[in-house]
Structure 1
Amino acid sequence: METLEIHSKDFLVKWVHAPDNCVIDWQVKPLKKSINFAIYKLNDETPSENSVESFQAPPPIGHNDSSTSVNGSSRIRSSSVTSVNQITNNNNPYKTKSRSSTFSTNLINSDLTLLKNYNKLIAGELVHGKFDVAKDGMYAFVFDNSFSKTTGKKVFFSSKIVSDNAAVSRRKSVARSSSNILRPKNGELLQSILLKKRRKKLQGFTKRYFVLNFKYGTLSYFRVKDNKLRGQMPIKHSIVSANAKSREIFIDSGMEVWNLKALNEKEFNAWVDAFNQIKKSSDETPTEEAFYEEEEQGILASELESISTKLTQLKMTTGDNAPAAKLVDSISLDINSLLARVIPANRNSLHDLTSVKSSSEFYDAQEYLDVMSSGVVLLDTPIPPLESKVIGQLETPSDESIDENLDGLSLSSSSSEEDEDIEPTKPVEVIQKVKSADDSDDTLYPLPHDPIERESDIPVCNHTPPSILAFVRKNVGKDLSTIAMPVTMNEPITFLQKYAEIFEYSDLINNALQPSFSDESGEKILRIAAFALSYLSSARVKERNNRKPFNPLLGETFELVREDRGIRVVSEKVSHRPPVFAFFAESEKWDLSFNPAPNQTFWGKNAEIVTKGTAKLTIKSTGEVFTWSHPATLLKNIIAGEKYSEPSAPMTIKSSSGYKAVVEFAKGGLFSGRSEDLTIKAFNPNKKQLAYTVSGKWTESLTLKTNTTEKLIWEVGDLLPNSNKKFGFTAFSGTLNKIYAIEDGKLPHTDSRLRPDIHTYEKGDVDKAEAQKVELEEKQRERRKELEESGKSHVPNFFTQVSGDTPDSGEWAYIRGKKSYWNRRKHGDWDDITRLW
């Protein structure tokens, strides 16, 4: 996929030409930060042959005519421009243009028609879509970053053209190539360094690398030593003007205006001639048969050229290593030989050109002009040969010669990837919350916090868990509930930490709360449902099912603070028999309470785990509440065979607004192994199924689907290296038992991370860990006996039961106010907390 880079307070248009009766198959994936995205079509116009547009003086104020105004400059605009307009300083229409015009103004004044507005695309999500094209035309894929005041964005983008009648049969062959189907592959390029005027006033010109694609009539630019696309213009449908005296070239697409400057007169003339060639070329479109014949040929060529690019990069890294460089050269010759067989003979002369940035995209301008002058040009009408003195002097200049032509103008550029997007209505509220220092629980202390570098790796486990069958035989006739399991049956975290893995994918909730996701589409509740079941993925490695977490002591706690996710979580074991764990999680936008009470039943060689308790997610801005319960799961092959777990019952997520989502897990056959596939359907309050659905595997990924678009909304997190020897932990799980700067010296002495037996066990000293575990459990029995003798019962420190007759029924509410967990943590108020070890 191609990498696009969009400035803050700016937008980028990626132009794609589509022939008659085809399908545009596209993919977009924002990196790290979200961005707005929409697809437009350039309006159809009927150009008059060989007509030349001339600029006219702006009409008087109040004068009404049919000309189009762009950024305040009125002039006639049509696609009938078939030559580059030569202008002088006196009639330069761009002198009066405002460079600070808004994105919406540019859209209003453009010749574009909105096809589909996808609003904000979420960072990290791969969005895949298709739409039919009946009549050929230019399509604008617009990436809008104008809402971000400080942060530039990077986006992966690709597009493919598939025949409408042969889409199914061709899709497999197209998928073999990861490159864009519209990438030039036959050297139809003019490229060199030009000076481009910066967006802001008084910043002057900066050097940029420009590539003109003659076949598709697009001009793209990049930083000189970077291959990330910074912008693109459709030359055929833009107004191009040139000033010979100042060597400036103005290109106006109706959406934006580029002010370029050639480094010398010869290059200026070459670029003007190239633009004229595109303007005057025939508008005839190749036949569909020819288009797809070339497409098939281009797929293989593109793959070979991609390999050639990697070889070029490898050669640059070998340096003075002569044998390696010689080997790379030998392989490059073989690749070029294959390319010569793929490309027709009349095109071979173009494939010996040395790549500057990418062998399939960039060729030296002078070498291309040499080819043009000899008549080997894949255009509808030939370009008149240039004079030899022009070709001889059109070389890519060195940095020194460029600097001499800059006349002291600024060459620096700035773009911060680390700055957050600044939206006008949110910062004041956030700052006020952060500055509040009282004990009213209005803040998210200790958030916000500086980024923390977390180490997730853990030591390799060199022992194996004991056989369940051998353990049962050894204790025949005994009450198994009173017998402590050997420590080797455990993994080095507690149940409190295990349940905290629910929040590994908390970003799914934030993603679901985008304003553009309406209830009627079902996208919001489907994303919430994806979060509700995402915790199942922690058991995707079957090694994870060989052991169980440590059983927390009564009153044991665990906190989770993730400044990178903007959440804080507190949990406590509030009941020992039956075991009940209380959780309360908060973020700026939502809070979540959950009181899981797991119960395990043996059924021969399998065990069924049923978790009582309802998770309740509350959206702070609207008060909407989502509720669900964890599905029952089966742990299979307990006695013998490979152990694994899988969901065994459907799962329903309900909204207080009346909407609901139902998760159906596929049922596997007797010998089919673990069932992993699932589908999620959404229903409105009238029980009518909505158009959007989600499908995928709980062990891999989930994709949200509509009639025309697919969004990869969730993927499993990374596993630890050599995870089969590290309890099957994910990278997130590996951080749960470590203490970082945000917790150091702040935790109560009841926190699971401070348990001595777990740390000893994690380090591999099984015998010592066994002794410590037995000692802790014995002390717990003594505390329970003391309470029983005094007629008292255990009172949790941070949660209180507000409903229900038994500990595993009703709801456990988080205690707020001065004695809340986070206020006590702020002041180090742990003196009255019972010591557990």
Structure 2
Amino acid sequence: METLEIHSKDFLVKWVHAPDNSVIDWQVKPLKRSINLAIYRKNEEILKENLNGSEVSFSSLNQSQASTSLTSVNRTASVTSVNQITNNNSYKSKSRSSTISSNINNSDLSLIKDYNKLIANELVHGKFEVTKGGMYAFIFDNSFSKTTGKKVFFSSKIIESNITRRKSSLGPIPNGASPNILRPKNGELLQSILLKKRRKKLQGFTKRYFILNFKYGTLSYFRVNDNKLRGQMPIKHSIVSANAKTREIIIDSGMEVWNLKALNVKEFNAWVDAFNEIKRIDYEDGIGEDNIDELEHSHIVSELELILSKFDQLKLQTDSPIVLEIQDDISTLISKVKPGNRNSFDAHSLVSSNDFYDANDYLDVTSTGVVLLDLPAPTSKLIDSKLADSPSEMSISEDQLDTVSTSSSSSEGDDDHDDVIPSLSKITSKIVQEGEGQEGDEDETLYPLPHDPIERESDIPVCNHSPPSILGFVRKNVGKDLSTIAMPVTMNEPISTLQKYSEMFEYCELIDNALQPSFVDESGEKILRIAAFAVSYLSSARVKERNNRKPFNPLLGETFELVREDKGIRLISEKVSHRPPVFAYFVDSAKWNLTFSPSPKQAFWGKNAEIVTKGVVKLTVKETNEVFTWSHPSTLLKNIIAGEKYTEPNSSITIKSSSGYRAVVDFAKGGMFSGRSEDLTIKAFGINKKELPYTVSGKWTESLTLKTNTTEKLIWECGELLPNAVKKFGFTTFAGQISKITPLEQGKLAPTDSRLRPDMKVYLKGDVDEAETLKVQLEEAQRTRRKELEDAGEDHLPKFFEKIGDGEPDSSEWVYVRGSKSYWNRRKNQDWDDLVSLW
């Protein structure tokens, strides 16, 4: 896949040519940030009508004519003449500040499919059948981003039926061409360095590397020594104008205008010849033999006119009678080979009039070749101020062209960029400073977010001990709740159950992605993405080593906070009940919040253990108040006595929306000897209970793909594992990070936070004996506190959550405490005095 680079407040067009009865197979993956994508088709019907119904000609404007202002040309919907020249004095560059929609409206593009916003890091794969061939424009729109450029991986291939494609007849480069020009792949490509006009005023030209593909008729450009595509033009469908005196080539696709300049005369001629050759290639349909002869005839005229323009240059360098004589002979020959009606075009009347003219009447040379403009340098006003910022820039000498610096290509700044992009750290630090100076409820301001990006350590020490056999425990405790059984510390992994459940939010961007306004309920895409989030946490158990141990059982009143500035969430959890064990969670972000009070129970059943989690996940969308609810599936831990242990889901999941939509996750059932089952499918259902067209499928251990009517979107992939994960409890990178205290938490954590637990800290470092001793001491102290409460006839009161109703702890709703005694307000004020001393 090639890399495309799209500036802020800008767009990039990637052109794809597809023949009749073919299929365009394409893939797109935005990197780190989202981007909009729409696919358009270039209209070609009018071009064929023009070619069949009218004659075309090449026109060369002489110096006196070119010095006169070129009037605006109101372009019709010709396939290759689609831009409007609206400035009375110039060819006007497409303003990048204008909206992309206005550019599209003024061009000859028909919408095929608008995919709206493509989510960051999602691979989107699509195919569509092309019955009638033509040019297709993949338009990547980043105009909504004011400061941030985007990078996108893109690939496309054409799956053709058995058709015969016309090949370019362009021969080798003429003898004496510049060594800067290259023709790899048997002449299918032409590539060299050209100067490209920068978009900002007064910045002049800069060197760029251009590649012309004769097969598809596209011109692409890159920075020198860089492989990221910066732009692309469909030459066959663009107006191409050339000025031999200034060696300038102006290309107008209807969406944008490029102003290029060759480094020398030989390269200029080579590029003009190449563009003319592409212009001569006819379409398979709609152009008869008479039209082809007409095009070839016009091409001969254009070549003669090009030779004539070269003699104009030679005349300036030497005052020779033979030069004037040859020039007169060529002029006479041109007048003879041109039919009378071709001569009816008066170029002088065009450039001197203030009226609007139809480009198909006067500039339909663009259908078959390059328009030759003998523009005087440096005083010509035919080039717009956006293309030539000052007269002196149009008179760069040959020596000056050879010494143009390419240092800007390797600089950190983007020399084609309209804006200076401030660093993220400066933006976020300013927001933080402003936020810290405000008074108010920290529950409403998402304190301590936003925050500067921080580096997170994820690696943990290698584990040099093995978990004990649990065969003895199984024999004594068949059918009992595993959480009530005291086990040696080596049976644990170095995180608590509070931290374990927080791994649910490793993939919380799935929620943000689901809430895109372009995802309508009727397609099912929104609820399917929510369902993908609901099952994503299962992937933490995909490594077999993760199933050999269980988390530390938190002490009553133990807490765990998780603040991820990179994901835009803050999480607070607390163990609110010991028997039955209940852990309350509240997660907040700018767009949504989530509550969950899991109460896990584990029981042995022969050679397997079943884990059932009571509690309902409740996800609320802040803007619409739409609520999604679901429960965790029961899971089986298999082969606990002998063999390789592994976990697999044992029940389906139903995700319900308050709007009436729902999604059902079905896990494939493995056979007796097939090992772990990993496949799943997710189907969506509407208010009328009918199945919706979109679905999700994949493996909960690897990835999930959303399938629409036209595309496949890779919406989720499992996270990375730690290096040598087999020796590190099978942890993912995310699991390794949640055991660390970062600068974001340093000195701010509640003293009851799991990361401060002494037995778990020494266990993580590998000191098993010390960890065992500390674990026993902490558990004994907890028993003492519980007995004191029982003797006093009191119950433990959680600090940050409160139970709603009179039900049992594991069947009631636990609500996050707000106000001055909320966790985040107390964290800011370091108000921890009334917390129980757990260690």
1:594 aligned residue (577, 596, 603): 596
**Given residue 56 of structure 2, which amino acid in structure 1 is its aligned partner?**
S
Task: Quickly say closer, same or farther: Cα 1:480–1:257, change in 2 above 3 A.
Answer: closer
Q: C-alpha separation between the residues in 2 aligned to 1:26 and 1:160?
A: 6
Partner residue of 2:213? 213
Task: Quickly say closer, same or farther: Cα 1:621–1:81, change in 2 above 3 A.
Answer: closer
Partner residue of 1:404? 403
**Given residue 750 of structure 2, which amino acid in structure 1 is its aligned partner?**
P
Q: C-alpha separation between the residues in 2 aligned to 1:238 and 1:427?
A: 46
Q: C-alpha separation between the residues in 2 aligned to 1:463 and 1:572?
A: 30
Q: C-alpha separation between the residues in 2 aligned to 1:111 and 1:481?
A: 68
Partner residue of 2:141? 144
1:160 aligned residue (157, 160, 165): 157
Q: C-alpha separation between the residues in 2 aligned to 1:407 and 1:546?
A: 58
Task: Quickly say closer, same or farther: Cα 1:474–1:579, change in 2 above 3 A.
Answer: closer
Task: Quickly say closer, same or farther: Cα 1:563–1:764, change in 2 above 3 A.
Answer: same
For each residue in 1:672-709, what CA deviation from the matched residue of structure 2 results, as whole angstroms up to 9, or x when unmatched? 11111000000111101100000000000000001221
For each residue in 1:720-756, what CA deviation from the matched residue of structure 2 results, as whole angstroms up to 9, or x when unmatched? 1111111110000001111010000001110000011
Structure with the larger RCO, 1 or 2 (CA within 8 Å, 6+ apart): 2
**Given residue 204 of structure 2, which amino acid in structure 1 is its aligned partner?**
G
Task: Quickly say closer, same or farther: Cα 1:429–1:522, change in 2 above 3 A.
Answer: farther
Q: Shift of the alpha carbon at 1:102?
A: 2.1
1:654 aligned residue (656, 660, 674): 656
More displaced, 484-493 or 800-809?
A: 800-809
1:104 aligned residue (86, 90, 101): 101
Partner residue of 1:60? none
Secondary structure of the corresponding residue to residue 442 of structure 1: helix
Q: Where does structure 2 lack aligned partners over 5 or more consecutive residues?
A: 62-70, 164-182, 287-367, 371-397
Q: Shift of the alpha carbon at 1:148?
A: 1.0
Q: Shift of the alpha carbon at 1:197?
A: 1.4
**Given residue 448 of structure 1, which amino acid in structure 2 is its aligned partner?**
P
Task: Quickly say closer, same or farther: Cα 1:470–1:755, change in 2 above 3 A.
Answer: same
Partner residue of 1:413? 414
1:132 aligned residue (129, 132, 135): 129
For each residue in 1:363-412, what CA deviation from the matched residue of structure 2 results, as whole angstroms up to 9, or x when unmatched? xxxxxxxxxxxxxxxxxx999xxxxxxxxxxxxxxx99646358999997
8 A contact 2:582–2:598 mirrored in 1: yes
8 A contact 1:626–1:656 mirrored in 2: yes
2:697 aligned residue (664, 688, 695): 695
8 A contact 1:9–1:148 mirrored in 2: yes
For each residue in 1:441-460, what CA deviation from the matched residue of structure 2 results, as whole angstroms up to 9, or x when unmatched? 21111111111101101111
Q: C-alpha separation between the residues in 1 aligned to 2:726 and 2:805?
A: 42
Partner residue of 1:305? none
8 A contact 1:572–1:582 mirrored in 2: yes
Q: C-alpha separation between the residues in 2 aligned to 1:541 and 1:547?
A: 12
Task: Quickly say closer, same or farther: Cα 1:405–1:722, change in 2 above 3 A.
Answer: closer
Q: Shift of the alpha carbon at 1:601?
A: 1.9
Partner residue of 2:560? 558
**Given residue 43 of structure 2, which amino acid in structure 1 is its aligned partner?**
N
More displaced, 151-160 or 257-266?
A: 257-266
Q: Where does structure 1 lack aligned partners over 5 or more consecutive residues?
A: 57-70, 167-182, 287-380, 384-398
8 A contact 1:16–1:138 mirrored in 2: yes
Partner residue of 2:280? 280
Task: Quickly say closer, same or farther: Cα 1:16–1:640, change in 2 above 3 A.
Answer: same
**Given residue 194 of structure 2, which amino acid in structure 1 is its aligned partner?**
L
Within a 5 Å distance, the mapping from 1:250-261 to structure 2 comes to: 250-261=250-261
Partner residue of 1:579? 581
Partner residue of 1:52? 57
Within a 5 Å distance, the mapping from 1:591-740 to structure 2 comes to: 591-740=593-742
Partner residue of 2:327? none
Q: Shift of the alpha carbon at 1:266?
A: 2.5
Task: Quickly say closer, same or farther: Cα 1:428–1:472, change in 2 above 3 A.
Answer: closer
The TM-score, its normalising length taken from structure 1, stands at 0.78
Q: Shift of the alpha carbon at 1:437?
A: 2.5
Q: C-alpha separation between the residues in 2 aligned to 1:604 and 1:740?
A: 43
Secondary structure of the corresponding residue to residue 39 of structure 1: strand
Q: C-alpha separation between the residues in 1 aligned to 2:406 and 2:604?
A: 82
Q: C-alpha separation between the residues in 1 aligned to 2:592 and 2:480?
A: 47
1:458 and 2:457 correspond: no
1:236 and 2:239 correspond: no
Q: C-alpha separation between the residues in 1 aligned to 2:788 and 2:764?
A: 32
Q: Percent identity?
A: 73
Partner residue of 2:224? 224
8 A contact 2:492–2:550 mirrored in 1: yes
For each residue in 1:593-618, what CA deviation from the matched residue of structure 2 results, as whole angstroms up to 9, or x when unmatched? 00000011221111111100001000
**Given residue 648 of structure 1, which amino acid in structure 2 is its aligned partner?**
N
Q: Shift of the alpha carbon at 1:218?
A: 0.9
More displaced, 703-712 or 482-491?
A: 482-491
Q: C-alpha separation between the residues in 2 aligned to 1:205 and 1:696?
A: 50
For each residue in 1:449-503, what CA deviation from the matched residue of structure 2 results, as whole angstroms up to 9, or x when unmatched? 1111011011111111111113455899999876520001100000000000000
The TM-score, its normalising length taken from structure 2, stands at 0.77
Q: Shift of the alpha carbon at 1:417?
A: 8.1
Secondary structure of the corresponding residue to residue 661 of structure 1: strand
8 A contact 2:463–2:729 mirrored in 1: yes
8 A contact 2:35–2:117 mirrored in 1: yes
Partner residue of 1:119? 116
For each residue in 1:281-328, what CA deviation from the matched residue of structure 2 results, as whole angstroms up to 9, or x when unmatched? 343489xxxxxxxxxxxxxxxxxxxxxxxxxxxxxxxxxxxxxxxxxx
For each residue in 1:29-71, what CA deviation from the matched residue of structure 2 results, as whole angstroms up to 9, or x when unmatched? 0001111001111002305277236699xxxxxxxxxxxxxx9
More displaced, 651-660 or 599-608?
A: 599-608
Task: Quickly say closer, same or farther: Cα 1:434–1:106, change in 2 above 3 A.
Answer: farther
Task: Quickly say closer, same or farther: Cα 1:283–1:434, change in 2 above 3 A.
Answer: farther
Q: Shift of the alpha carbon at 1:534?
A: 0.5
Partner residue of 1:2? 2
Q: Shift of the alpha carbon at 1:11?
A: 0.8
8 A contact 1:217–1:235 mirrored in 2: yes
Secondary structure of the corresponding residue to residue 695 of structure 1: strand
Partner residue of 1:778? 780
Q: C-alpha separation between the residues in 2 aligned to 1:479 and 1:519?
A: 42
More displaced, 476-485 or 658-667?
A: 476-485
**Given residue 163 of structure 1, which amino acid in structure 2 is its aligned partner?**
E
Task: Quickly say closer, same or farther: Cα 1:240–1:603, change in 2 above 3 A.
Answer: same
Computed over aligned residues only, the root mean square deviation of the Cα atoms, in angstroms, reads 3.5
